[in-house]
Amino acid sequence: MKCYSLSEFSQAPKTKPRFVVVGAFDGVHRGHQHLVSTTRQSALENGGELIVLTFWPPPNYFLAGHRFQFLTTKRRRAQLFEHFGADALVTIPFDAAMANRSAWTFAADVLDRQLQADQVVVGYNFTFGRNAEGHAARLEALAAQLGFEVTVLPPVFLGGKPVSSTRIRHLLMAGDVASAAHLLGRFHDVTGRVIPGETRGRKLGFPTANLRIHSPALLPAKGVYAVEVAHNDTALGLGVANVGSSPTFSQGQSDSRSVEVHLIDKAGNWYGEALTVYFLAWLRKTKVFDHPDKLTAQIARDVRVTKQLARTDARESLQHGLRLC
């Protein structure tokens, strides 16, 4: 898969019919995957190429005044698009100029003139143009004037409800990482660089890596989780992660952006390295222990539960998720 800016792609010679799937794709969840795979199948059947057109940052991040936390980083999203068979990824910066484009300008200038799309595929709730003035039906009408075709796909339902980034975000904020994984089709992950900590975990017999997480990335609710950890796209193994400050030692201070992970049966010095944490399952709420020995005993129980989870079918799914990183 090749990655382009819009201007770069507009200069690329057109050698095949272009099948373009358009969206924000925050999370690249099962609904997004259905859009991409359906478009890919159409491209293959018609001798065409699959082009993913998306935006960075996600439109909601810009429109919410940078208070929006996204499910996937730009790099992770590109990796997922490549995994699902995209031939090219075209990313448009979402800024004030893009937000103020009319629906007509987006269709005529971006989709028709610069992308030279033959087929455009969008989801049922797709909106575009200034103040979201355009929707799927409007795109179909504009396409008829401009000379390309449009396919609007219905939602993917799981658990009786449409799969959506908003639904996944709510699950993660409630700590339900297992249900979020079901909708994502993989385990939710975050990446952070290991920074020096207080070495309390090492003194307790459970050394930990303290991660500095990129701030717009969405972390699940504060708590303790069974996780898998990877370094440079290579699985390191299972771990137990605490999201948020440790209440036993934080002395009332709270840091919701803190991730501290103990790698089970895996020693190493990871200072300065980037580690990716995949959230497998919720273990428990954080709590205050009145003695370090009680905390040590609880962490040992967390490790045992995590190892038990590794012997279930979830382990196979987790490995699949790691192959996408």
DSSP string, 189-231: EEEEEEE----HHHHTT---EEEEE-TTBPP--SEEEEEEEEE
Return all residues near 166 (Cβ < 8 A) that are at least 6 apart.
none
Co-location of 154 and 189 in the same domain: no
Co-location of 16 and 143 in the same domain: yes
Q: Is pLDDT at 317 greater than 50 in this prediction? A: no
Overall domain count for the chain: 2
* Averaged pLDDT for residues 130-143: 96
Q: Which domain holds residue 314?
A: 177-323
Q: What is the pTM of this model?
A: 0.90
Specify the pairing of strand 49-56 against strand 18-22: parallel
On average, the pLDDT of the chain sits at 90
The percentage of residues in the chain with a pLDDT greater than 90, rounded to a whole number, is: 73
CA 268 from centroid of its chain's CA atoms: 27
Query: Could you give the 3-state DSSP secondary structure of residue 274?
Result: strand
- For residue 316, give the CATH number of its domain: 2.40.30.30
Query: Is 144 a domain residue?
Result: yes
pLDDT at residue 183, as a whole number = 97
pLDDT in tens, 216-246: 889 999 999 999 999 988 899 999 999 987 6
Please classify residue 226 by burial: count the beta carbons closer than 10 Å to its beta carbon, then call 0-12 exposed, 13-18 middle and 19+ buried.
buried
Mean pLDDT comparison of 65-74, 102-111, 249-258, 289-298, highest-scoring range: 102-111
Q: Which of 110, 132, 161 is the last residue of a domain?
A: 161
Bin 44: left if φ > 0, else alpha if -120 < ψ < 50, else beta.
alpha
Co-location of 259 and 285 in the same domain: yes
pLDDT at residue 68, as a whole number = 84
pLDDT in tens, 195-220: 987 666 665 668 889 998 876 889 99
Query: Is 170 a domain residue?
Result: no
Query: Is 280 a domain residue?
Result: yes
Co-location of 43 and 154 in the same domain: yes
165: its two tokens = 């980034």
Torsion angle of the four alpha carbons 27, 29, 35, 40, in this order, in degrees rounded to the nearest 10: 90
pLDDT at residue 295, as a whole number = 85
